[in-house]
Structure 1
Amino acid sequence: MKRFGWLLFFLYSSNALSAGEVEIPLLAETTHLQAAIGRVLDFDETGQSTISSDPCNRIELSDMMLVTEDDKLSVGMALTATTGANVLGACRGPRPWQGHLALKLTPRVTASGLAIEFVPDSIELSRPNGGSDLLLKPVQLIADALLLPRMNRVQIDLAGPLNSLDELIEQLLGPASTQEGEQSLVQRTHIARLQTEEAGIRAWLAFQVRAFDLADQVPEPTLDASEMAQWQTLEDEFDGFLTTIISMLARSTDSPVLRLELLAALLDARYAIAEALTLDDPSADPVRELFLTSWDRLRPLMGELEGLEIPGLEVDFRLAAFMAGGDALRALDALGPEYGLEITRDGLRRLARLLLAEAVPPSFTPLPLEVDPEFRELFGFDDKQVSVFTTAEFSRQIAEGFRRTGSWLLPFAYADEIPPAEALRGVVPRLAILDEYLDLVARLLEQQASAWLTENDRLPDRLAERLDPLVRATAWKESCWRQLAGSPSDPQVLRSPIGAVGMMQINGRVWRNVYDLDRLSDEVDYNVNAGIEILTHYLIDYAIRRGEHEQPGGDDNLIKATYAAYNGGPSQLARYRREDTPARLRAIDNEFWRHYTTIKAEEWPDISSCYAVGN
């Protein structure tokens, strides 16, 4: 199985050499170079090889080591050589010669510019004691005859990935950058130069693209309603693209930490997409910004994957090509608007095909909205869906009867007989019933937090007492403890401008595949349980794992970090302690903390912060 540890693109050292000319460095690590030589020399899984020209003349190789020296590769191996002749059906000759072989190779770019070859400079043999040896010359002849032809076949062929990169670049530059029928890609992607260093061989991939005159460009008209809808569909397409890619990468590793970081990148992108969909700026290009931001998050994570054996990606350097494609787009964007880079549906599919080959779907939309158990399990959520308290059928019938009568006070009179979620079904808080309503919500939140602690043992014992006030304060800050809003006769689920719903204000776009979107709106207990699962996910898998409690402030930091991530995504985890946090977000975090400390002291939150109540 091929390994990908050798392919490390360094995005931030990409060079724009002249107008439209880009170089991207690629590092072929010594471990991969050694594996490539081992394949040509037929090394087996035990690290040994036997090469022969006839039964009486052969060499046995083992213990290969490769290092770089100046502009060359130095390959050392233990060697046992057997020489002789067939005499009357049997091999006759001296005892096998044992010693060390040192091979010098000079890397160079092939004439096509699409591969790296290695030219053998010399083969030197030596004994451990360094003394003279009568058999050295015949052994040298055998080694030259058997090894040199094979070493001339050592190549790292990048033709397939580089051709795919060319197609991707032309797709995303689009017709705007093509002049008078000429191709937008002036010079196709090729290996421009090589540089030997301690870690391996750095190859510089170069390509050149054609710019167009911005002065001749006709300004784009403002998008109409239909075009704006198509633009939003492109954002959906990007969401689907990113979900497909990240899920595939997560399945390729058994590392829980790497999976969590991949999930964090996905969630942050979905938070950003939800925000972008609320923008009313026809001149903005949110998909481009989303791609660049997401790529910067994913790039180092894929760098970690490069050193792993990845089933399904060992063919045609798929992971390497995908990473090169994203890096190339990043570099193209840095050239400026005159090169006309545009993220399109077809471009996203072509980029995905570099990684997924023919497994790429015809379209990433419409987005699947149902709960995906495999997705939940992949990213560390419980293999069962969010648990909710079951309710007896007679309780449902009682609650339905109350609603048919139009009495909003009767459910509270029976609050001890039916679960809080049932008593709250269809109820919009009003001043006349506010005390009873808030008591019911408090019971619901306490019961659900207690149930989570009973069913899970992941939270450290010292933090168990903090879960209930964390849940209550989050629900208060997010929704003022409301699942529904509007008039009592026509209650509607509470919905934020970016689409977050219900008591815990859970955004279905962000958490699709993880939760049932209809139940988030229709069932307050399901909504609360989902919110608790998200809070504990951020608390345990991110805040604790990343050591927020080790910062000045101790365990209080864990609560602050958890809410910051809940409110804005995993990238916001440390915003509560960063000096560059915008004042708007700092005010949100400070208000949450006031609610939390009040509730933790077993007091009610400030009712007047949500409801118009008198003295």
Structure 2
Amino acid sequence: MAAGQTALDLSLAVNVHSGAKAFGRCTGPRPIEARFHVRLEPGVDATGRAVVFEPVGAEIRRADGSAGLLARAASQLADRLIVPRLDAIEINVSGPLVAIDDLVMHFMPATTARPSPLADRAHLAHVEVDRNGLAAALALTLHALPDAEVHTEAPLDDAELTEWQRIEDELDGFLTAIIVHLADAVDMRDLQLDLLGVLIDSRHRIAEALREDSDSDQVEALFLQAWDALRPLFRQLDALAISDDVDLRLAGFLAAGDALTAVQALGPEYGLEVSRDGLRRLARLLLAEQAPARFTPLPLEIDPRLQRLLGLEGVTPRTPAAARRHWLDWLIPAAHAADDSPAEALRGLVPRLAFLDDYLDLVSDLLAVEIESHLGANTRLDDAQRPLFDPLVRATAWKESCWRHYVGRVDEPEVIRSSVGAVGMMQIMGRVWRGVYDVERLERDVQYNVAAGIEILEHYLVDYAIRRGEHEQPGGIDNLVRATYAAYNGGPSHLPRYRREDTPGRLRAIDREFWNHYQQMKTEQWPYVASCYAVGG
């Protein structure tokens, strides 16, 4: 489509037959392979509900573009036989508007009065040709709502809060089903990782929403944020060779999602609300019979397909560790079994100043064992990147948990847990990594927790920091460490936050402290982790 073009060019392959009727038959030369060319000027019909086209300049030429001897006669026939059929072509928007109305109703609160149908108050304002094809502007009549008395909404009660949390779980399940389905349908690794990155980011945001704003619902904002991130990736899917049925369902799914975001922008008259029924209906547009009957309760079991797509299949549970030691055993070194592994020795152990050096030695040994195991068997790091990894893992464990898996009383240890539900020494969120790791084992098995954290760190380092060229930014290879931790802490979209001027101060402080930890690990080979344990005995 040429810049500034105002009409669509249509070119059709035709066979032109010519001859004379004799003895009841048409006889003449063999058919000529030709092209029928016509320009279609778009416009809006009198109802304002349909795009119509006016054919201009119809002609028939040979396949090589030359006119040929019979071109004029053939073009005259085309004017009489083909052009009138083109006059009947129209694109009527009434049907799609009705479909949008139907979908919108599933996203409106039950207490909201149903607005008058879009088809009754919408018309096409104008239509034009752009680089992507045909663009039409739809004008809508909106009804002003009466002025409402300004008042502060009461916080959600326990039942309402439980319901909103359930809807956030529905959104998590919806995004998981949609993104995993699309990622599995393409062979382009970059696109797969970008799609899955949106899923991990969305899970992080849902976890944050559950913690940060317990007196209000954020599901609508979370949905729109995820859709905005997915939309450019959907455009890439459009250009790929995927099966026709998936392509058609994808087109319907995109149209519906775009319609919802557009209608939401119309103002408070619509006041859309993300609901179970709405999400399920939207999912069925893409997944058809593969759409799950329900998204909740969220499944916690391992999903081999999600593991495969993420490339996170290297952590397998080992033989269960022995029952934990009594904390008094650590005050009597002679009682230690010589063959205890670090993970077994750390089971149920709450660090205290009285035996802190021994405790930190155990943690250091555990980290060394798991890092060596990973680098020896599964790593994708090259020789230049390997030296970054050991201090990266150790500094991450220091910043995330202060090298602790258990806290509380020494005789009643509890797994360390953050306000957003991250657990254990590597502070892994089960809500984010469900389907990839055994959520229960992340809590009860310190070795499994550390191994999973190591695998996630390399995933962010290779599949995001290196792939997106963070080491090519000012700062060089050290940027890979800083970007990897930022993603580990907040999700893939946080990758560049360490170098962005608009990063909130709270996150800047987190990244700055981590970087100090990393530099100390790298230069001194031993952290001042004891600074975390200034109190207690």
**TM, length-normalised to structure 2:** 0.89
Cα deviation for residue 363 of structure 1 reads: 2.8
Q: 1:161 to 1:252 in 2, by over 3 A?
A: farther
Query: Could you tell me which residue of structure 1 aligns to residue 451 of structure 2?
Result: 529
Query: Could you tell me which residue of structure 2 aligns to residue 12 of structure 1?
Result: none
Query: Could you tell me which residue of structure 2 aligns to residue 520 of structure 1?
Result: 442
Cα deviation for residue 552 of structure 1 reads: 1.3
Query: Could you tell me which residue of structure 2 aligns to residue 246 of structure 1?
Result: 179
Query: Could you tell me which residue of structure 1 aligns to residue 7 of structure 2?
Result: 72
Query: Could you tell me which residue of structure 1 aligns to residue 301 of structure 2?
Result: 370
CA contact (8 A) 2:325 2:345 kept: no
Query: Could you tell me which residue of structure 2 aligns to residue 311 of structure 1?
Result: 243
Query: Could you tell me which residue of structure 2 aligns to residue 62 of structure 1?
Result: none
| SS in structure 1 at match of 2:385 | helix
Q: 1:490 to 1:106 in 2, by over 3 A?
A: same
* Aligned equivalent of 1:93, options 28, 31, 34: 28
For 1:183, the aligned partner's letter is S
Report which stretch shifted further, 246-255 or 566-575: 246-255
Report which stretch shifted further, 416-425 or 204-213: 204-213
* Alignment partner of 1:279 is 2:279: no
For 1:139, the aligned partner's letter is A
d(CA) in 2 for partners of 1:581, 1:519: 34
Cα deviation for residue 405 of structure 1 reads: 9.4
Report which stretch shifted further, 261-270 or 329-338: 329-338
CA contact (8 A) 1:84 1:92 kept: yes
CA contact (8 A) 1:186 1:208 kept: no
Q: 1:356 to 1:160 in 2, by over 3 A?
A: farther
Cα deviation for residue 235 of structure 1 reads: 1.2
Report which stretch shifted further, 137-146 or 518-527: 137-146
Query: Could you tell me which residue of structure 2 aligns to residue 19 of structure 1?
Result: none
* Alignment partner of 1:292 is 2:227: no
Query: Could you tell me which residue of structure 2 aligns to residue 170 of structure 1?
Result: 105
Query: Could you tell me which residue of structure 1 aligns to residue 479 of structure 2?
Result: 557
* Alignment partner of 1:498 is 2:420: yes
d(CA) in 1 for partners of 2:466, 2:203: 23
| SS in structure 1 at match of 2:148 | helix
Query: Could you tell me which residue of structure 2 aligns to residue 429 of structure 1?
Result: 351
| SS in structure 1 at match of 2:437 | coil
| SS in structure 2 at match of 1:491 | strand
d(CA) in 2 for partners of 1:528, 1:111: 68
CA contact (8 A) 2:60 2:67 kept: no
Cα deviation for residue 129 of structure 1 reads: 9.1
d(CA) in 1 for partners of 2:417, 2:329: 25
Q: 1:222 to 1:77 in 2, by over 3 A?
A: closer
Query: Could you tell me which residue of structure 2 aligns to residue 343 of structure 1?
Result: 274
**TM, length-normalised to structure 1:** 0.78
Cα deviation for residue 150 of structure 1 reads: 5.4
For 1:308, the aligned partner's letter is L
Q: Deviations over 1:251-288 (max 9, x none)?
A: 23221111111111111111111111113552x33112
Q: 1:218 to 1:552 in 2, by over 3 A?
A: closer
Query: Could you tell me which residue of structure 2 aligns to residue 386 of structure 1?
Result: 315
Report which stretch shifted further, 267-276 or 145-154: 145-154
Query: Could you tell me which residue of structure 1 aligns to residue 503 of structure 2?
Result: 581
CA contact (8 A) 1:211 1:339 kept: no
Point out where structure 1 has 5 or more consecutive residues left out of the alignment: 1-29, 31-66
For 2:465, the aligned partner's letter is A
d(CA) in 1 for partners of 2:266, 2:78: 51
Point out where structure 2 has 5 or more consecutive residues left out of the alignment: none
Alignment of 1:253-268 (within 5 A): 253-268=186-201
Query: Could you tell me which residue of structure 2 aligns to residue 139 of structure 1?
Result: 74
For 2:261, the aligned partner's letter is R
Structure number with the higher strand fraction is 1
| SS in structure 1 at match of 2:99 | helix
Report which stretch shifted further, 273-282 or 570-579: 273-282
* Alignment partner of 1:478 is 2:400: yes
Give the aligned length: 535
CA contact (8 A) 1:114 1:162 kept: no
CA contact (8 A) 1:186 1:209 kept: no
CA contact (8 A) 2:164 2:217 kept: no
d(CA) in 2 for partners of 1:405, 1:130: 94
d(CA) in 1 for partners of 2:103, 2:333: 62
d(CA) in 2 for partners of 1:588, 1:211: 46
For 2:191, the aligned partner's letter is L
d(CA) in 2 for partners of 1:170, 1:613: 57
For 1:511, the aligned partner's letter is W
Query: Could you tell me which residue of structure 1 aligns to residue 163 of structure 2?
Result: 230
CA contact (8 A) 2:98 2:117 kept: no
* Alignment partner of 1:102 is 2:37: yes
CA contact (8 A) 2:97 2:118 kept: no
Q: Deviations over 1:468-500 (max 9, x none)?
A: 111111001111111111112111111111100
Alignment of 1:21-60 (within 5 A): none
Q: 1:144 to 1:493 in 2, by over 3 A?
A: same
| SS in structure 2 at match of 1:278 | helix
CA contact (8 A) 2:53 2:90 kept: yes
Cα deviation for residue 524 of structure 1 reads: 0.7
Q: 1:415 to 1:266 in 2, by over 3 A?
A: farther
Alignment of 1:105-120 (within 5 A): 105-109=40-44, 116-120=51-55
| Cα RMSD (Å) | 3.2
d(CA) in 2 for partners of 1:233, 1:412: 52
| SS in structure 2 at match of 1:417 | coil
CA contact (8 A) 1:68 1:196 kept: no
Cα deviation for residue 186 of structure 1 reads: 7.4
For 2:59, the aligned partner's letter is E
CA contact (8 A) 1:479 1:505 kept: yes
Query: Could you tell me which residue of structure 1 aligns to residue 387 of structure 2?
Result: 465
Q: Deviations over 1:533-579 (max 9, x none)?
A: 11001100110011110111111100011001111111111111112
CA contact (8 A) 2:115 2:269 kept: no
